Amino acid sequence: MPEIRVTPLGAGQDVGRSCILVSISGKNVMLDCGMHMGYNDDRRFPDFSYITQSGRLTDFLDCVIIRFIAGHFHLDHCGALPYFSEMVGYDGPIYMTHPTQAICPILLEDYRKIAVDKKGEANFFTSQMIKDCMKKVVAVHLHQTVQVPTADLPYESQASLERVNEKLWIRPKLVRTEQRGLLKTLATGVVDDELEIKAYYAGHVLGAAMFQIKVGSESVVYTGDYNMTPDRHLGAAWIDKCRPNLLITESTYATTIRDSKRCRERDFLKKVHETVERGGKVLIPVERMNLKVPIYFSTGLTEKANHYYKLFITWTNQKIRKTFVQRNMFEFKHIKAFDRTFADNPGPMVVFATPGMLHAGQSLQIFRKWAGNEKNMVIMPGYCVQGTVGHKILSGQRKLEMEGRQMLEVKMQVEYMSFSAHADAKGIMQLVGQAEPESVLLVHGEAKKMEFLRQKIEQEFRVSCYMPANGETVTLPTSPSIPVGISLGLLKREMVQGLLPEAKKPRLLHGTLIMKDSNFRLVSSEQALKELGLAEHQLRFTCRVHLQDTRKEQETALRVYSHLKSTLKDHCVQHLPDGSVTVESILIQAAAHSEDPSTKVLLVSWTYQDEELGSFLTALLKNGLPQAPS
């Protein structure tokens, strides 16, 4: 019995350290390879011993998919990648989008500097490990179907893989033969004919993609983080009605329904204005406010990320793409680069600084300087993982133990305004309805909120929904799906008769199933007879109905005709010269009873197409005929 198995190594009833193991028809895929931002020890990495405790990881994993890496510290999806590939020992392919591939090494090196050069942490990956890790990356285009190579392919042949995948992307009809032949010529491995992946636009951040993993007729869709609402720079997530066996979706905001973005922007500006008017400073840990005070953004990673938004302009929304030539929306003339010495300047100012959870970097440095002044304000614009400074102050803590056991008293105002690019509960439900999966599995969320969403999904969509904890395996048996081709003639006939199914209303299609050379086709019975050289035989079902009637058979048949004619307004009822009655393909004949002269026998027969009508008429006649006027 085919099955799909899913084991979260991270993000199971938890936010952070995303890492999901999926086994589908014997193929093993790891989705994301993140770290937990709330820990500074080995707990920040997923427990990779779940994959195997002996032997090479590459022998057990077919590929790793990193669905995005964004410029504002989404290390919870990618931070453990160099550790996994270079220190734990995985040398298979790593798939990601082109923007993710561009930003990835910059993000990882930035975090390495903070962890190693500034904090002095040991057992951490090096700059060279980041470079070696990136050599294993295969970049994919949106809507490109990529066949995953088998384990014996040398992944240093990156250019070869990209050329093959590019050929596949441009001309999908070349999938099987040409691609496999090219790979044999360009490298020593072969393409796996079964394991395929396909990327869909996810909104959220630059380079974010949802991935469909398919093996034969079995498929899983992994959303990672996504946003169903378009914002000022990116479009909304989109996926076709792919009907996967399983949809694995994030549930960060499982119980949240957000106000409109316009309302949130208005409230945000109001709070900023109120703070600067009283002489305070505003810190916004993130990534035209009509303010006459300085507005800064932290240089470094934010600046680099902004550069890549300009470079990958095709990933942005339609408005930005249309106006890009006349005006680059990513050039902010009213916002200046921030220097760390500016933090001590007198007077009000507004600073956008990374990272967003106040767990390290420039945002944390500024927070420590400004926290003691009640005139100041920090606005937290997104979700903060448990264990980070951002999570602590949003939970109401006002005395924090910092590095070196120093205590920091927080007197500044703390506000939370969700500008997070995650889907809210409404968006998650929208995506489930769009993809129409057989089952749903929730990850990347808090247990209590996930439970609420799980019940809502099961009630509304009538599908099973799971929410495993880290290390817990969910096993889903799957029914093999057999593709069947339908003849054009049969479809045209159904269209003429108005029997083609409407959206979300599947209907039975009557035809003859032909199997030839392991292929299945559904054709009309006439076409099947012609192709197979067979004579037609008509199968009819017959039922006997006894009626109390002393009249002659012809008179009984006439009474039956009159009764059905007045009862069945929407059907063609006919009285034939031989005395029989027809309703569509149904034939009704009256005969004398062999033993009882006062009883007549009605023989009712029909074809399989009119089974429903035949059963209805039989029941109707068993109730008897109306009394004739005397």
> Could you say which of 196, 218, 250, 415 is catalytic?
250
CB 276 within 8 A of CB 348: yes
Return the number of other C-beta atoms located less than 10 Å from residue 185's C-beta: 9
CB 520 within 8 A of CB 482: yes
Give every CB contact of residue 250 below 8 A, 6+ residues apart in sequence: 11, 223, 224, 225, 226, 422, 423, 428, 442, 443, 444, 445
DSSP of 56-116: -GGGT-SEEE-----TTT-HHHHTTHHIIIIII---S-EEEEHHHHHHHHHHHHHHHIIII
Residue with tokens 């996930």: 450
Check residue 300 and give left, alpha or beta (phi > 0: left; psi -120 to 50: alpha): left
Query: What tokens were used for 450?
Result: 């996930």
- C-alpha span between 566 and 545 (Å, rounded): 20
User: Of 581, 579, 595, 592, which is closest to residue 549 (Cα–Cα)?
Assistant: 592
Catalytic annotation present for 86 = no
Helix (H, G, I), strand (E, B) or coil at 151: coil
Helix (H, G, I), strand (E, B) or coil at 554: helix
Residue 483: asked if its preceding bond is cis (omega within 30°), the reply is no
The three-state (H, E, C) secondary structure of 577-620, written as one string: CCCCEEECCEEEEEEECCCCCCEEEEEEEEEHHHHHHHHHHHHH
Return the number of other C-beta atoms located less than 10 Å from residue 8's C-beta: 29
What sections of 187-317 are H helices per DSSP? Answer: 261-277, 301-311
Return the number of other C-beta atoms located less than 10 Å from residue 151's C-beta: 18
User: Of 580, 602, 581, which is closest to residue 593 (Cα–Cα)?
Assistant: 602
What sections of 380-464 are H helices per DSSP? Answer: 389-394, 425-435, 447-461
CB 283 within 8 A of CB 370: yes
DSSP of 409-426: E--SEEEE-----S-BHH
Helix (H, G, I), strand (E, B) or coil at 486: strand
The C-alpha angle with vertex 186 and arms to 86 and 136, in degrees rounded to 5, equals 15
CB 122 within 8 A of CB 40: no
Helix (H) or strand (E) holding 376: none
Catalytically active residues, by annotation: 250
